[in-house]
Chains A and B, each alone.
Chain A
Amino acid sequence: MIPWKAYRRAARAGPAIALALALAAGLAGCAAGAGRGPGSRSGASAAAAVSSIQNTGSDTLLNLALAWAERYMSEHPEVRISVTGGGSGTGIASLINGTTQIANASREMSSEELEQARKNGINPVRFTVALDAIAVVANLENPVNGLTLQQLSDLYTGKITRWSEVGGPDWPVVLLSRESNSGTYLYFLEQVVRLGNGKGKELFSPETLLMPSSQGISSEVQQNPNTIGYDGLGYVTPQQKTIAVARSAAGPFVAPSVKTVLDNTYPVSRPLFMYTAGEPTGPVKAYLEWVRGDGQKLVRDVGYVPLTEAAK
């Protein structure tokens, strides 16, 4: 009698235990799968036949990073590079969390991010890989051709709310910006909205529309004559009008182009970076050397500005 009862009790509990074990095993499997990220792969990459590089971050740099990765992979079939966007903040966060080997950034890492990285035992190393001009764009119907930095600042802080105040028709101004995880957002804020004054307290007007992507900005600029937006030069399409920018009301109004960035006459241009966790080794090192060497030939085609000898 007693063994029978015990057996039944075991039978009742058995499936539960078995199921719990199965669940645990399954979860452990998932965890192991998730853990097999680039971090653990990089250790083996030096020896493995095919090594893979994760490259995440700035949407501004995305087109260029993709072009580089494609060309490099066709020249070096033993290397696999996967490129994703998401914003400079996203890339840097991935680098800090150890889920990417190269973070693309259109701004420098902030002091908080550096501290966070150090806490995780990561020492980020910065490489300048290209230059970019931030183009100010408007609708093709808009007759305004040039703006000074001061006017741009007044527009984006909400002091100017109608196009007539900057020599345009009596239309309301609709401000477009990238989301705050974009390096372009921070650069534009520092260099244009705050006019390069590091201690400036100006912020984007709360009326500013924050668009989740470059695509969002270009589609709204194309269809809405009231808009003004900004984005990397590589993203400007012929369906938008590029506004020439002047440092002061007297100064020349300069349209962004490779030439005007290189001779430093266009006021809103900046370097683009790739960050690695510690000094790069193996395939990552080889890739970065190629990017800053032969890879520069691709830069102009994609719409960015190659590094000059001095900037390297």
Chain B
Amino acid sequence: MSSVPRPVTRVSAGPSHRRGRLSELALETLIRVLGFSTIAFVGLIFLFLLREGLPVFFEVPPGSLFGPRWYPTFGIFGTLPLILGSLLVTVLSIIIALPLGVATAVFVREVAPRWAREVLKPIIEVLAGIPSVVLGFFGMTIVAPLVRQVLGAPTGLTAFSGAFLLAYMALPTIISVAEDALDSVPRGYRDAGLAMGATKWQTIWRVVVPAARSGILTAVMLGMGRAIGETMAVMMVTGNAAVLPTSLQAIFRPVRTMTATIAAEMGEVARGSTHYHALFGIGIILFVLTFLINLTAASAIFRARRKGGLR
């Protein structure tokens, strides 16, 4: 029996070779179709968004579409408070998250001993896995009362509470991307810094972090993208009052974000009504904003590369 296979294998060398090529072809085609279908799906989603949302830009005159009052049940579709609300919460969350995130990344990458780094990294990744509803509940029961009692605001459901939770959600993204950026700074930079007589702190602060700045900027932009699209936690803690945030005090007042508006109102609307189109219109505005943020990030990286900076 054992002597039989030999000639058989030699004879079948041709077909099996051909079969190998065939299966390779099949696999290649499969991967290609899958790859292109992803692009097609994104395109189709965008088309759907445009089809459902564009009518609002004709149904509602632009003056009132970007007006200061949002009362959709009564045909008043002023999206300005929603746009500003989203921006306020997002920017605020980045202001909170950026120093924390960069400091953590510097600590994990540059300062922490090896064992601490090995413990910290997975924990930071676990942070990213906490469902936003859980964070929202935490925000509603712990953060909001604290904000009210400590800061003396009339209610704890404020832009600040939302930004606080969003900062927490953006942190894992910011930390891991910033850490990668620090990681790609060549060892030579650090050696050179130390050789010039700089202390470890001076080397980190004056040499390594500036060298990784475009990577850190990417981290911030990705964190922002995460924050502006977040819905559930924001809806639970920001109070959802469509007030125009005009003064600095607005930080400690309720706001209504674009995402929370879509989530809260989409269930109610009749298909094809102006309100329905308006919600998709908000979706388009959100899409454009996110796109602009990503574009800024990409062009910043491109410019930094051309200048000869790192990453």
A172 surroundings in chain B (CB, below 8 A): 154
Q: Does B216 sit at the interface, judged by CB under 8 A?
A: no
Assess whether B155 is in contact with A93, with CB atoms less than 8 Å apart: no
Within 8 A of A (CB), among B131-158: 140-141, 144-145, 148, 154-157
Q: A206-243 CB contact bits vs B (8 Å, 1 = yes)?
A: 11111110001001100110110000000000000000
- Tell me which residues across on chain B come within 8 A of A174, comparing CB atoms: 154-155
Q: Is the CB of A219 within 8 A of B140?
A: yes
B26 sits at the interface (CB 8 A)? yes
B257 to chain A, nearest CB (A): 12
**A-side contacts of B267, CB under 8 Å:** 86-87, 89-90, 93, 181
Report yes or no: B243 in contact with A116, Cβ–Cβ below 8 A.
Answer: no
Contact with B along A182-212 (1 / 0, CB 8 A): 0001100000000000000001001111111
Report the bound CA distance from A12 to B32 in whole Å: 12
Contacts A116-B270, A180-B268, A210-B256: A203 and B71 contacting too (C-beta < 8 A)?
Answer: yes
Q: Which of B207-215, B233-241, B288-296 contacts A (4 or more CB under 8 A)?
A: B233-241
Q: Is there an interface contact between A90 and B268, defined as CB atoms closer than 8 Å?
A: yes
Considering only residues 68-116 of chain B, those with a C-beta below 8 Å from chain A are 69-74, 81
Band of interface residues on A:
35 or more
- Find out whether the CB atom of A19 lies under 8 angstroms from the CB atom of B157: no
Contact across chains for B29 and A15 when beta carbons are under 8 A apart: yes
The answer, yes or no, to whether B242 is at the interface (CB within 8 Å) is: yes
Decide if B172 is an interface residue (CB 8 Å cutoff).
no
Hey, which chain B residues are within 8 Å of A23, CB to CB? 37
With A181-B267, A209-B254 already in contact, the answer to whether A216 and B155 are too (CB < 8 A) is no
Interface residues of B (CB under 8 A from A): 22, 25-26, 29-30, 33, 37, 69-74, 81, 140-141, 144-145, 148, 154-157, 235-236, 239-244, 254, 256, 264-265, 267-271, 273
Scoring A23, A206, A226 by chain B CB atoms within 10 A of each residue's CB, the highest score goes to A206
Taking a contact as CB atoms under 8 Å apart, the answer to whether B240 and A210 are in contact is yes
Please measure, in the bound complex, the distance between the C-alpha atom of A208 and the C-alpha atom of B81, giving whole angstroms. Answer: 14
A-B contact pairs, 9 of them (CB 8 A): A93-B268, A116-B273, A174-B154, A180-B72, A203-B71, A206-B243, A209-B157, A220-B144, A223-B156
Q: Which residues of A contact B240 (CB under 8 A)?
A: 179, 209-212
| CB < 8 Å neighbour of A96 from B154, B235, B236, B270 | B270
Bound CA span A113–B268, Å: 11
Q: Is A11 an interface residue (CB 8 A)?
A: yes
Bound complex: CA of A49 vs CA of B37, how far in Å?
Answer: 43
- A179 interface neighbour in B30, B243, B264, Cβ under 8 Å: B264
List the B side residues contacting A263 at CB < 8 Å: none
The answer to the question of A16 belonging to the interface, with a C-beta cut-off of 8 Å to chain B, is yes
Residues of A within 8 A of B140 (CB): 216, 219
Residue pairs across A and B with CB atoms within 8 Å: the count is 102
Q: B155 and A89: CB pair below 8 A?
A: no
A226 contacts which chain B residues (CB < 8 A)?
Answer: 154-155
Complexed CA–CA distance, A116 and B275 (Å): 14
Q: Residues of A contacting B254 with CB < 8 Å? A: 207, 209
CA distance A179 to B268 in the complex (A): 10
CB neighbors of B among A1-39 (8 A): 11-12, 14-16, 19-20, 23
Contacts of B26 in A (CB 8 A): 14-15
Q: Which residue of chain B has the shortest Cβ distance to A173 in the bound complex?
A: B154
A89-B268, A173-B154 known; 15 other A-B pairs, CB under 8 Å?
A11-B22, A12-B29, A15-B29, A16-B33, A87-B268, A172-B154, A181-B267, A206-B242, A207-B254, A209-B157, A209-B241, A210-B241, A212-B235, A212-B236, A226-B154
Task: Give CA–CA (A207, B264) in the complex, Å.
Answer: 17
- Partner among B30, B74, B144, B273 whose Cβ is within 8 Å of the Cβ of A19: B30
Tell me how far the C-beta of B263 lies from the nearest C-beta in chain A, rounded to whole angstroms: 8
Inter-chain contact A210/B264, CB cutoff 8 Å: yes
- CB pair A93 B236 closer than 8 Å: no
Q: Is the CB of B265 within 8 A of A179?
A: yes
For B256, list chain A residues within 8 Å (CB): 210
Interchain CA distance A180-B269 in the complex, whole Å: 10
Contacts of A96 in B (CB 8 A): 270
Closest to B254 in A: A209
Q: How far is the CB of A102 from chain B (nearest CB, A)?
A: 17
Q: Which of these, A14, A112, A207, A224, contacts B156 with CB under 8 Å?
A: A224
Q: Which of B33, B69, B144 has a CB less than 8 Å from the CB of A206?
A: B69
Q: How far is the CB of A26 from chain B (nearest CB, A)?
A: 12
- Verify if A82 is at the interface (C-beta below 8 Å from B): no
Nearest CB in chain B: distance from A61 CB, A: 15
Kindly name the residue among B22, B29, B235, B273 whose own CB sees the greatest number of chain A CB atoms within 10 A: B29
With an 8 A cutoff between CB atoms, is A281 at the interface? no
Q: How far is the CB of A89 from chain B (nearest CB, A)?
A: 3
Residues of A within 8 A of B144 (CB): 220, 223
The answer to whether A15 touches B25 (Cβ under 8 A) is yes
The CA-CA distance from A209 to B242 in the complex, in Å, is: 8
By beta carbon, the residue of chain B nearest A179 is B264
